[in-house]
Amino acid sequence: MAISLNESETGDKGEVFRDVHFPDPAHLFVTPDHYVFRMLHSQGISLESLGVPRVDGGDVETDARAIWRRFAENYHLLRGTPSRIWLDHSFETVFGWSSVLSADTADDAYDHISGCLLQDDYRPRALFERFNIELLSTTESPLDDLRWHKEIRQSGWNGRVVTAYRPDPVVDPEYEGFTENVGRFGELTGEDTTTWQGYLAAHRLRRRYFMEFGATSTDHGYPTARTESFPQAEASALFDKALAGRCTADEADAFRGQMLTEMARMSQDDGLVMQIHPGSVRNHSADVYARFGRDKGFDIPRRTDFVQALTPLLNAVGNDPNLTIILYAG
Amino acid sequence: MAISLNESETGDKGEVFRDVHFPDPAHLFVTPDHYVFRMLHSQGISLESLGVPRVDGGDVETDARAIWRRFAENYHLLRGTPSRIWLDHSFETVFGWSSVLSADTADDAYDHISGCLLQDDYRPRALFERFNIELLSTTESPLDDLRWHKEIRQSGWNGRVVTAYRPDPVVDPEYEGFTENVGRFGELTGEDTTTWQGYLAAHRLRRRYFMEFGATSTDHGYPTARTESFPQAEASALFDKALAGRCTADEADAFRGQMLTEMARMSQDDGLVMQIHPGSVRNHSADVYARFGRDKGFDIPRRTDFVQALTPLLNAVGNDPNLTIILYAG
Amino acid sequence: MAISLNESETGDKGEVFRDVHFPDPAHLFVTPDHYVFRMLHSQGISLESLGVPRVDGGDVETDARAIWRRFAENYHLLRGTPSRIWLDHSFETVFGWSSVLSADTADDAYDHISGCLLQDDYRPRALFERFNIELLSTTESPLDDLRWHKEIRQSGWNGRVVTAYRPDPVVDPEYEGFTENVGRFGELTGEDTTTWQGYLAAHRLRRRYFMEFGATSTDHGYPTARTESFPQAEASALFDKALAGRCTADEADAFRGQMLTEMARMSQDDGLVMQIHPGSVRNHSADVYARFGRDKGFDIPRRTDFVQALTPLLNAVGNDPNLTIILYAG
């Protein structure tokens, strides 16, 4: 089995990579799982009461047992969802607890699972082996120092964990802190990222660095499948505008589209498989975004045009039989 | 059983509400049913020949038996439609007439059903009770005086018939006579509807008035699901433009969108359930619209974006657990 | 059985119409079939190596056996496609060859089918009769002299082969050589096609001419279903712009839309059935288009709005019960 982990779908990667014990049932199953807490939120249960951290550091529930009880009392709301099937399966096959979770059984489940988590058999690497995981792939930003990947290498453990290159913070002019991010990108790579050529060179270097930590792919998720293939002078001018924070929404979209084509060109050279999953409108609730930050389950698929949106990229690189692009539709 | 009646799907409400005998088979089953006459029109049968009234008061067929015969001769054209299933069911279970309608059986059916309609058992309230209807909901414009609802109350009959608030004539700048409508809205409510604040106050008052006649919901059907949440100064300026008849098509759409959000805000206060059914292009045939007016069966569903169109409304009121919005998709 | 042949789906019409022997298996089954060679191209097999002619007259494979062997070696790639089902069926039922085509059986199939093609039983008219074809309809451009249709008439053969009016080269401002085409259209018809009225008159004449060769329909395929019904003065001005090569992409689309309505009006007079099949993005690969020309299998369906796009045409002619329009959706 090979598993791909999205940053937004995991809790603290450090826990997993340093092989520390998972803290408690609530912080394993509830607080980090945006499928679970977003469903509960839709029924009027506040994210604060489920322990989801606020952007402003404001008070949220910290008592793990209280979070777990709230979760258990409302567990019936998850009936018929993939999350419920997965949770029931995990409780039974991973932890050997096979009652139905409810207000009545909340404490029994909590105590049982907590007891397991204290055992070494339930530490991340033991589970990795028990699950017979061949490969686990994470995604990281180009600004990530990949220290967990380094630590795993240095630890002598032979589980195969690789990274993937997910460049959103430095290719999306609408990402928080884009200009600062590109500056830091320059420092990390030693390239002059204030120029278009230097910026592209930084990507090429950083992709190679990621490949040293097992990366075989890049990963790109945007609201649309738009690609562009501007002449380099135009692309360079657009980059300057993005860096100066003067892009319109349409120009920001165009720049993301240009970068998809640039990433495809780099894949022609370094062989990384390109994964594109367009069509998700992220952070749909302005209120939740303001209070809890991005990727809190408020993603909604929207209809996406592929036929015309992909034309520039396909005309630029589509004839190369050695380039692999995986397109997630829907 | 609870039934919801749309204005465009009923004939003369007065007939029903005053409990007079239905006039004859043609004016019960053909002339007022836009599903039936629109289907026949698509096969080249003129609306005039089916007795549908013209906007200009021009001649149309008035002989009920002649209309019925035309309908019967072409009844085979309705094969496989929901209308045909419903009609056959009504003929048999309501009227006890179980032949197949055709040119040959037209007069027999006409005479049989006419005979029934003369009996008191076939008057509207008797049927209401025979059908075991718990609740019948109509939709009315804010400009409606609800006199049928008043008459029912005064008549002492205890069938439950309620209204719903359908504000198209006073919230859609493209509705015929919008400016005059808003003027009359002011007279009806005693509010100064030449100002944005007075106009909103008029809505609040009129919704309360509808609630006295049992209203539990509002009803909104537009070509798109667009919502807006402009600052009040902008909304006010847009209202002035609409009142002056100077809205572009896009601004009219924006105003409808703003009013959806305003209606949602009012629902937060008065608790009316909000029903939105977007995505219908109405009055598609310019010719039929000019000759016969609106809602003559020339509605066509179109694809509708919900994800982005609803964002402004959801960001404005979507966090309120006490607000109920029903969205009809498709 | 009635068959409709698209120009882009056939090889050399002359072969068929003059009843000459089909040349060889490769030039019967591979080189002219854009479903087959486009599929193989998608797996990295060059169109040149399959004998598809280049626009610049550059070298392509001409050895029929070599093309056939390449096809046979890669025949497994067609598994599960309609092309494969049709090919297997043809090999077996038309030619009596029932092995599975592969590298091993390539020469056997080639020799067997070649042997058949030399026989008179396998000449086009013999197959036409063997297949019991009642009617075969081709599409031709208004600039076509219909000489094959003339030759068939003169040959005394009584198979029924008719043309259909497919006016793309003279109604699409973005078609190669549009202005020259319209000039030649004037010469062919004796009308002054530098004026809007003369241009419309030329269409009316040419449609009549096509009807002499059995045409019962017109055929229109555009990226969108857009129709327009401009006042004649505006339509005339748009035509002038198109002729001068000064149309924007949007104006070209508008002109195509106007011509759909004009064609519908002409169908009201001459009775030709109108076939519209919108929603195909043609020549999606700029590279293949540049090297091999149009209609090489690089068509992709795109989502198409019908409800609003068809409104102008329907409002102009939709009430005419004698006009037949066939709309291919999807």
Instruction: Kindly state whether B314 is in contact with chain A, defined as any CB-CB distance less than 8 angstroms.
Output: yes
Q: What are the per-10-residue average pLDDT scores of chain A (330 residues)?
A: 53 74 95 95 94 96 98 97 96 97 98 97 94 93 94 89 96 96 98 98 98 96 91 97 96 97 97 93 90 91 87 91 84
In tens, the pLDDT along B27-48 reads: 999 999 999 999 999 998 999 9
Distance (Å) from the C-alpha of residue B313 to the closest C-alpha of chain A? Answer: 11
Based on the fold, state whether residues C182 and C319 are members of the same structural domain: yes
Is B79 among the domain residues? yes
Is residue A102 domain-shared with residue A171, that is, in the same domain? Answer: no
Given B98, B122, B146, the domain boundary residue is B122
Residues near B145 by beta carbon (within 8 Å), at least 6 away in sequence: none
pTM: 0.80
Residue C329's pLDDT is 75
Hey, is the C-beta of A324 within 8 angstroms of any chain C C-beta? Answer: no
Residues of A in contact with B303 (CB under 8 A): 303
Q: What 3-state DSSP class applies to B295?
A: coil
Residues A294 and A151 in one domain: yes
Q: Which two tokens stand for residue C310?
A: 């068809």
Question: Shortest CA distance to B220 belongs to which of B186, B177, B258, B194?
Answer: B258
User: Which positions in chain C touch A320 (Cβ < 8 Å)?
Assistant: none
In a domain, A140, yes or no: no
Q: Both B89 and B161 in a single domain? A: no
CATH of the domain at C64: 1.10.2020.10
The reply to whether A289 falls in a domain is yes
The reported pLDDT for the residue numbered C236 is 98
Task: Report yes or no: C320 at the B interface, CB cutoff 8 Å.
Answer: no
C325 in Cβ contact with C264 (< 8 Å): yes
Shortest Cα–Cα distance, A59 to chain B (Å):
20
pLDDT at site A7: 46
User: Which residue from B305, B311, B321 is facing A284, i.e. has the nearest CB?
Assistant: B311
C275-320 pLDDT, tens digit per residue, is 999 988 888 999 999 999 988 999 888 888 888 899 999 999 988 8
| Same domain, yes or no: B260 and B223 | yes
Whether residues B41 and B163 fall in one domain: no
Any CB–CB contact under 8 A between A286 and chain B?
A: yes
Distance, CA of C18 to chain centre: 19
* Sequential DSSP letters for C269-320: HH-PEEEE---EE----HHHHHHH-S-SS--EE-----TTTTHHHHHHHTT-
Residue A200 forms part of a structural domain: yes
Q: How far apart are CA B128 and CA C254, in angstroms?
A: 54
Q: Are residues A103 and A175 in the same domain?
A: no
- Please tell me whether residues C193 and C280 are part of one structural domain: yes
Give the nearest partner residue to C281 out of A303, A307, A318, using CB atoms. Answer: A307
List the single residue in B308, B315, B319 with the smallest CB-CB distance to A281: B308
Determine whether the interchain pair B319/A284 forms a contact, defined as Cβ–Cβ distance below 8 Å.
no
Tell me what pLDDT residue B220 has.
Answer: 95
Last residue of a domain, one of B94, B122, B150: B122
- The pLDDT value given to residue A9: 47
Could you tell me if B45 and B140 lie in one domain?
no
**A287, A291, A298: which to substitute to probe chain B, counting the most B Cβ within 10 Å?**
A287
CATH number at residue A198: 3.20.20.140
**Residue B177 and residue B318 in one domain:** yes
pLDDT of residue C194: 97
C2-17 pLDDT per residue, tens = 565 554 444 567 777 7
User: Is residue B284 located within the same domain as residue B204?
Assistant: yes
* Positive or negative: CA dihedral C221, C226, C230, C234: negative
| Interface mutation target, options B261, B305, B315, B322, chain A, most CBs of A under 10 Å | B315
B176 lies in a domain?
yes
For residue A1, being part of any structural domain is answered with no
What is the reported pLDDT for C222?
83
Please say if the pLDDT value at position C1 is more than 70.
Answer: no
Domain boundary pick from A74, A90, A122: A122
Position B8 scores a pLDDT of 47
Are A118 and A150 part of one and the same domain?
Answer: no
Establish if A249 touches chain B: CB-CB under 8 angstroms. no
Q: With a cut of 70, which residues of chain B have pLDDT below it? A: 1-12, 15, 330
What is the C-alpha separation between B159 and B152, in angstroms, rounded? 8
Number of domains chain A is built from: 2
Closest-approach residue (CA) in chain C for A322: C44
User: Helix (H, G, I), strand (E, B), or coil: what is residue A220?
Assistant: strand
d(CA A6, CA A29): 16
Pairing relation of β-strands A135-138 and A161-162?
parallel
- Domain residues for the domain of B54 are 21-122
pLDDT of residue A321: 81
Within-domain flag for B96: yes
Residue C28 lies in a domain: yes
For the segment B222-260, what is each residue's pLDDT rounded down to a tens digit? 888 999 999 999 999 999 999 999 999 999 999 999 999
B307/A44 CB distance under 8 A: no
**pLDDT beyond 90 at C108:** yes
User: Cβ of B302 under 8 Å from any chain C Cβ?
Assistant: yes
Q: Which residues contact A156 (CB under 8 A, 6 or more apart)?
A: none
A311: nearest CB among C284, C301, C303:
C284
**Each residue's pLDDT tens digit, C213-251:** 999 999 998 888 999 999 999 999 999 999 999 999 999
Q: Which helix (H) or strand (E) holds C2?
A: strand C2-5
Question: Are the C-beta atoms of residues A191 and A165 closer than 8 Å to each other?
Answer: no
The single-letter code of the amino acid at C212 is E
Q: HSE (CB half, 13 Å, CA atoms) of A326?
A: 11
